[in-house]
Structure 1
Amino acid sequence: MSERALLSTRKGLFELHRSGAGWEIGPVHFLGEPVSIALADPRDGAVYAALNLGHFGVKLHRKDAGSDAWTEIAAPAYPPKPEDSTDTVEWKNKLIWSLEAGGADEPGVLWAGTLPGGLFKSSDRGNSWQLVRSLWDVPERSNWFGGGYDVPGIHSISVDPRNSKHMLVGVSCGGAWRTLDGGESWTVSSTGMRADYMPPEMNENEAVQDPHRIMRSDGSPDVLWCQHHNGMWRSENGGQRWTEITNVPVSNFGFAVAAHPRDANTAWFAPAEADQRRVPVAAAMSVTRTSDGGNSFTVLRNGLPQQHCYDLVYRHGLAVDDDGASLLMGSTSGGLWATSDAGDSWTTVSTTLPPIYAVRFG
């Protein structure tokens, strides 16, 4: 069970610490600055924070284990666009949307997903970064387009705990992509997904799918869960094929999904109304949990606001701890809720935080 969690918000990076059965807020780092994503590296205890400073650009900071000081390190940067390029996308890092550690056998390796759809790798704890050209240069990238943003972005990076060279990334809107050789080559892996926002003849095109979030069940790494723009999907073969989950209460639309760390049949979703409204269904907050691989769901509402609630949970706003029972959920309206019984009951940690972009244990 983790004693700490990190909240990436529009006004700074907030630490949470367990206090009895609840959580206490503080300290706060980078107060007033937008923190898009943070990472607590379980391999060496370092903490990373990605900032989006608008005119001043994207910044990345690291705090080493045992230190109270943050050090600015290199941020992923795109190479110059070739003069003869026909690419309509600007080769400039607009946001670090995802940040993940490499495998346990890869000390110092970090992965970053950015807007406009580039994957970056660092082999030296973020001191330098390289664009993964093998993914950036796939011909299908010309079909990618923006979902919630004007340009495509990589929001999900999942390293297989059995083999660090096996990875899967999720792109909005560009589908799921898989590598079996550490990023030397990539295969689009969205078979089974459906994009209803496309013309009928293109709705099964794997390279235009909009997976909002993809999470792996680390205890059974071939099992992956996906909250898609047009529904919910599950894969039992590492993302080679996806099966739609159809028996869904409340709503099959949302952004976040959390996968149980050991039980491959259990996952949590945060349903919402699509598309223009993007608020909880009937202005009442809920979480849906499946314990049988998506065949059925329990709607969890105890302790969550049930009237005049308009909080939306972003892609990284729902997280489950290693114990499989503690979850945190943060919203775009600054609400934060916690549970220690897998969602059967929730307690309010705060309703006055800045908009929360990401929640992470560790």
Structure 2
Amino acid sequence: MIPTLLLGTRKGFISYRYNNNRWEVENLSFEGVPVSIAYEDSRSGTWWAALDHGHWGVKLHRSKDRGKTWEELTAPAYPQGEEVKDGMKAVTRYIWAVANGGKSFPSRMWLGTDPGGLFVSDDGGDHFNLVKSLWDHPSRKPYWMGGGRDLPGIHSVVVDPRDDNHVYVGISCAGVFETNDSGSTWEVRNKGLWADFLPDPQTDIGHDPHILVAAPTDPDILWQQNHCGIFRSTDGARNWQDISQPGGPARFGFALAIADDDASQAWVCPANSDTTRTAIKGALCVCRTDDGGKNWKTLTKGLPQENCFDIVYRHALAGSGDALAFGTTTGNLFFSPDRGEHWQTLNNYLPMVYSVQFAH
């Protein structure tokens, strides 16, 4: 069964549904408003929309009827007196990650934000509180910094399905942090990463993971598309290995997806680094490894191979079984039924796509 696709875009929340052998738009919500994340809580089927209203600030909504109606919630807010750095008031600028808290905590939700605060709710999202233990980590003020955004941001929250107290977060720019006690204490997990933009590339803090993902079949295996390469860990993030493709396109990018049934199979969407942020040589491709990054295959069938400026943002590539989908910065949406071997275009005229998720 091919499920629903949820898209967060520059101009709204869009859901696609596969019906009668074709993809159709099922729902458009928040037309004209940037939706930084469109997310389904797989436990309950609740849809979440994180909005970036600009002048009106960050908003958070949820729907329990597949987008027919939406409830506005109180957006996460930093407590009075909190500072990003000395003299700079902490204000929620962007919601960059939404994750459910696992089966052991059926009402728990996590939010990652810019300027670097992690928020948690234990009442289904009615109220969110800043996780002070991470916010007060001694490394934050002196060493966390902005990457693509001006200030640090938490873009990835990974909950271990075997133990919902065990959580990883990915922070740009700081790196990977791990808690085994639902956020009471945190450990830095950046050993083996490389940050070539820092005076000491092997520093403990200051790395720039673009996305952090755990393998569904083995949560001790984590992958990250990093600013400085593709990295993989087989020991719960305690050590990282660079598995970038020597001389090939699979190195820089933002998005990464892991197969549901194989911890050694993953996909990335390569891009030109830093200076242009465009498709490499004007040709869009997806790269897949079937052996944990030892070898990479470039997949292009059905994708534009000339005059292409698209790149894929960190949350805009998703997989479900054999199916893959991704959306691009220029509003193209592509779907593959066979793990990336062949691609078909679903839409060429969307707004900039921020996130893609398969829902059910």
Q: For this structure pair, what is the TM-score category when the shorter chain's length is used for normalisation?
A: over 0.9
Runs of 4+ in structure 1 deviating by more than 4 angstroms, as ranges, are none
Counterparts of 1:82 and 1:24, CA distance in 2: 45
Q: Which residue of structure 1 lines up, in the alignment, with residue 337 of structure 2?
A: 340
Q: C-alpha deviations, 1:170-212, integer Å up to 9, x for none? A: 000010000011111000101100100111xx21112100001
* TM-score (norm: length of structure 1): 0.96
Q: Distance in 2 between matches of 1:251 and 1:293?
A: 13
Correspondence for 1:327: 324
1:67-216 matched pairs, under 5 angstroms = 68-81=68-81, 87-142=86-141, 143-199=143-199, 202-216=200-214
Please give the per-residue CA displacement for 1:284-325, whole angstroms capped at 9, x wherever unaligned: 00000000010001100000000100001000011111x2x1
- Specify whether residues 35 and 316 from structure 1 end up closer, same or farther in structure 2 by C-alpha distance, changes over 3 A only: same
For structure 2, the residue ranges without an aligned partner over 5 or more in a row are none
What is the Cα deviation at residue 80 of structure 1? 1.1
Identical-pair percentage = 43
User: Does 2:30 correspond to 1:33?
Assistant: no
- 1:236 paired with 2:273, answer no
> Match of 1:222?
220
Instruction: Rate the CA distance shift 1:194–1:89 in 2: closer, same or farther, 3 A.
Output: farther
Give, in angstroms, the shift of residue 336 of structure 1: 0.5
Give the C-alpha shift of residue 21 in structure 1: 4.5
Contact preservation (8 Å) 2:95, 2:114: yes
Name the CA shift for 1:82/1:254 in 2 (closer, same or farther; >3 Å). Answer: closer
Distance apart, 1:344 and its partner CA: 0.1
SS in 2 for 1:169: strand
Which range moved further: 239-248 or 295-304? Answer: 239-248
Q: CA RMSD in A?
A: 1.5
Matched, 1:351 2:348: yes
What is the distance in 2 between the residues matched to 1:314 and 1:170? 15
**How many residues get paired?**
357
SS in 2 for 1:55: helix
Alpha-carbon distance, 1:262 to partner: 2.1
* 1:75 and 1:126 in contact (8 A); partners too: no
Q: 1:4: how far off?
A: 0.8
Of 64-73 and 295-304, more deviation after overlay is shown by 64-73
Flag structure 1 segments of 5+ consecutive residues without an equivalent: none
Do the aligned residues in 1 keep the contact of 2:335 with 2:343 (CA within 8 Å)? yes
Partner of 2:8: 8
* Corresponding residue number in structure 2 for 1:361: 358
Deviations 1:311-362 (A, max 9, x none): 01000011111x2x10111001001000010000000011100000000111
